[in-house]
Structure 1
């Protein structure tokens, strides 16, 4: 078995949520410390890691980032190496991302290049967000790379393909939490209450008008309310309700406008239903914007220097906090085809492990070229 497939399977069994990746960090450290240490410096950051591989004649630092956390999902793959952590799963492929990164790191420990390499093992990508605070850390200030890149698995593409585009790749995203508080009471006396179930239902419908009436039709935005909670039992009118959702836009200006409209509509609900409301926009992820020249050069490299296929994709409404790093450091992210019947964040996601060696091959070849020039 490919050793990095074995690593992937072992990591798949121990998924952990954001900033709780203690076993994961320990596993990564154990493997990295088993490698020759002469040209390596390792620093912990929260539950993540910075690993620097010192080059032979460095003129720049090349950064590579992987995310390491899992999701609060009950796994349904029935794999022999399924998650051993209750109601937690690597359902977004971060086990793949980590094993690929360890493969790349191992290669350059054994086959040094001129430039320095910085491997960033980032916690909490799924939330509450580790990229932004990691970017602001003292270690990043000391070791800040000159360029940086990363990948994300793509279940819809076949193994042996990658996909990316110049410019905008992933959307701006923001969490959304709205709490409503009115006056509860007996189901037989609705006129003596302020029913927050009714208020919540009205608000959900109103929120959808933001997309159809306040966002430029040539732009793109999404508001999804994924969860509503409220009430206690069937014969009591609900005093409280909570809406939980997400906002996604292709421009930061649209995100600002959407949030302004949400605030206005919630103010209207407060007046119309004589209730109190609180809005929390939670974690926000900045758009992933690929540096045009670096992305184009990478596309040409894969087409001309490897046996793999490149598909130029469209932008997606997915979110990724790697966007914070790309806002300060030139770089790019690309999709890696893994050919799974089930998509990201699905309990049955089962990527094809052959994609691990594909990614290691592409990235080590690419870094060798740019790191020796």
Structure 2
């Protein structure tokens, strides 16, 4: 098995080369180069776009167990002060995907030398942060030729100490959707508002009305969040804005509520178009399906993890975070769990600094778990 010092070396190299979704060319090449140096007798490798599928062939397979690691970074300027900080200006592994890949490589290293009865498929998936790589990969010919019977994934959790594994049966992550709206009216001089059509005012009315959706259209026993994170409009203080752009996200704990929220949002937007006599373009961007853990498999994993001396299990609550791993779980039984990495700064922070000792925790746990499952 790959030792701890090599895990750290691999993680730090990957941390320096973050790339955005479907642009992970250096990352893909590094992964391929690393895998090419392992024993090849039991390995089969395919590429899909900037992703990779690595199958460890079992001796007498009846099932294939899948493990997914996402590989892309975020458009964030790093502020960790690491000696191994990102070499790509304005890009950073601020969501732990460098950890996810390193853990997967540690497992590939072990199982390339220690295959079992069943197959193990390692899925290096691009574009989790956007525009979404899971769904098109799931639908690809390459994936379906090796489609696993069970699939597992993890995500680092800065709020938990190293050694903690947190998960739950059923819903773990929310349904999520991006939101982009462009309004276009008629600009003009600030002294003649009656001759113009102000899109700053239109955008303000729209955002204010959005606040009624969760309180008046979503079941109080359900949960939903609509966040407008960015508004742009106008060019100068004495010019009435001809255009405005609204950017945000929608998050719900059920797919039914997601549909309700979108339907109501579109009705409000139609009202703004009519009331302000303007044009509006709506784009939901990347949409991610809820992460819903298979109850039996999750319970079995948690009971197994409880027997591991280095691991502490937490039965956590569901979170409003989004993960396109949900598309895999919609089609294939499996589960996802949080891996404690103890960082003062959280996910998507420019100062995220996860504890590298968690790499060994994850590799040891998953090595033992998959060894058990593929040799049952």
After superposition, residues 79-228 of structure 1 pair within 5 angstroms as 79-228=82-231
Match of 2:71 in 1: 68
Q: CA RMSD in A?
A: 0.8
Match of 2:30 in 1: 27
**Structure 1 residue aligned with 2:348, among 345, 349, 357?**
345
Pair 1:236 & 2:242 matched = no
**Structure 2 residue aligned with 1:309, among 308, 312, 330?**
312
Q: CA deviation at 1:277?
A: 1.1
**Structure 2 residue aligned with 1:51, among 44, 50, 54?**
54
Unaligned runs of 5+ in 2: none
Whole-Å separation in 1 of the counterparts to 2:373 and 2:43: 20
Whole-Å separation in 1 of the counterparts to 2:332 and 2:369: 18
Q: CA deviation at 1:68?
A: 0.1
Quick check: 188-197 or 339-348, which moved more?
A: 188-197
Q: CA deviation at 1:326?
A: 0.4
Q: CA deviation at 1:56?
A: 1.6
Whole-Å separation in 2 of the counterparts to 1:144 and 1:78: 41
SS of equivalent residue, structure 1 residue 14: coil
Whole-Å separation in 1 of the counterparts to 2:330 and 2:181: 29
Match of 1:7 in 2: 10
Pair 1:252 & 2:265 matched = no
CA offsets 1:192-212 (integer angstroms, 9 cap, x no match) = 111100111111111111011
| Aligned 8 A contact 1:61 1:116 in 2 | yes
| Aligned 8 A contact 1:306 1:362 in 2 | no
Whole-Å separation in 2 of the counterparts to 1:61 and 1:293: 18
SS of equivalent residue, structure 1 residue 3: helix
Q: CA deviation at 1:176?
A: 0.7
Pair 1:284 & 2:287 matched = yes
Match of 1:365 in 2: 368
| Aligned 8 A contact 2:310 2:361 in 1 | no
Whole-Å separation in 2 of the counterparts to 1:24 and 1:282: 25
Whole-Å separation in 1 of the counterparts to 2:217 and 2:63: 45
| Aligned 8 A contact 2:308 2:365 in 1 | no
Whole-Å separation in 1 of the counterparts to 2:194 and 2:352: 49
| Aligned 8 A contact 1:177 1:281 in 2 | yes
Quick check: 17-26 or 263-272, which moved more?
A: 263-272
Whole-Å separation in 2 of the counterparts to 1:325 and 1:112: 24
| Aligned 8 A contact 1:161 1:310 in 2 | yes
Q: CA deviation at 1:96?
A: 0.3
TM-score under structure 1 length normalisation: 0.99
Whole-Å separation in 2 of the counterparts to 1:355 and 1:237: 54
Whole-Å separation in 1 of the counterparts to 2:281 and 2:47: 37
Whole-Å separation in 2 of the counterparts to 1:279 and 1:111: 51
Whole-Å separation in 2 of the counterparts to 1:105 and 1:143: 16
SS of equivalent residue, structure 1 residue 2: helix
Whole-Å separation in 1 of the counterparts to 2:344 and 2:283: 35
